[in-house]
Amino acid sequence: MKRIIMMVLRNILLVPFAWCKLCWYAAHADQYPEDKLYALLKQIDRRANKGGNITIKASGIENIPKENGFIFYPNHQGLYDVLAIIEVCPVPFSVVAKQEVKDIPFLKQVFTCMKAFFIDREDIKQSMQIIINVTKEVKKGRNYLIFAEGTRSKHGNHPQEFKGGSFKAAMKAKCPVVPVALIDSYKSFDTGSAAPLTVQVHFLEPIPYEEYKDMKSTEIAEEVKRRIEEVIKSNGGWD
């Protein structure tokens, strides 16, 4: 909470204008091209991070596929994760978020601009429909981000089990799977501190469909988790 307050106070002159603009874009998202919506989010995100004493250290940007139509699979540490990735990711992407965050102010407008899908984990039929929708969108050339853990880890940089069902959309779309390793993202909002913080975002080499097409979804999940954990360990995030 301290860091969020700092983000607002240090941008107090910008906040009213930025908030109104974000709300307008969110209310009229279908009237704007995706790159323009994404540019606004990046602009707001950069100012918020600067005000909140957060530096994003990125690596592997060259690993992001040049051709759109892929899915990011990061480890999940908290509400800040998507904001960390937005600042350093050069290409627009959408997200699959849990139903519970749909009406949280600011996140609601951000996710609307990203044209996110909200999944109800208790509703199997609705969850299957989301997979179908994401598959169609990815085939059309949109990029998505899915948290394979389903919910954020409560153990800092130590990921939970990656669920195989999260990879069904990638398998059906036959698209590249891009693992993303997040380090110290949880410290942004979950520690109560506003001290200077560096969050690491590592884009790993994509796994092409040809490499995983004969694997079970649970095997893909295990492999993606293994690669992410390896990067976290080698970059000082393992304790």
Give alpha helix (H) positions in 63-208.
Answer: 81-88, 107-113, 124-139, 168-173
Where is average pLDDT lowest: 51-55, 113-117, 154-158?
A: 154-158
Per-residue pLDDT of 26-51, as tens digits, reads 999 999 999 999 999 999 999 999 99
Report the C-alpha gap between 234 and 160 in whole angstroms: 18
* Reported pTM: 0.93
Per-residue pLDDT of 136-150, as tens digits, reads 999 999 999 999 998
Q: Which two tokens stand for residue 71?
A: 């899915």
Report the C-alpha gap between 128 and 171 in whole angstroms: 14
